Amino acid sequence: MEPLDRDTAKKLYKHYRKNRDGIRNCPEMASICLICESIHIVPMEGNPYKLVCRNCGFAFFRYQCSACGATIDGRDPKNPPCETCGLRVCTCGACDCPT
């Protein structure tokens, strides 16, 4: 993905700080930290479901649903934690945890 310019990042940050609904559907939010506004987000080592901010260390769920392909973002209120395993789950309700 192309690096975000600061203006775009700032606008998106401001918008989603106030209204977290929809973060999952915004590809740019994969590289914006909602805590410190940093755009230095990297995959978390050893955890394929999470990304981590290199600036403040905040980690959040962001991954693709294996059932429907939609993006899950733990910062989005529409992606609640799974009652069984605690992983943030897709709006379709599917979870990879063993049943």
At residue 11's C-alpha, the angle toward residues 8 and 15, to 5°, is 140
**Residue-level length of the chain:** 99
Do 80 and 24 contact (CB within 8 A), yes or no? no
Using alpha carbons, list the distances in angstroms from residue 37 to 22, 25, 26, 51, 55: 17, 18, 15, 14, 9
Among 8, 14, 56, 80, binds Zn ion (CB under 5 A): 56
- Binding residue (CB under 5 A) for Zn ion from 23, 33, 39, 52: 33
Contact with Zn ion (CB under 5 A) among 15, 22, 43, 55: 55
Closest separation in Å from C-beta 12 to Zn ion: 14
Mask of contacts with Zn ion, 65-84, x by CB under 5 A?
x-xx-x-----------x-x
Using CB under 5 A as the binding rule, whether residue 42 contacts Zn ion is answered as: no
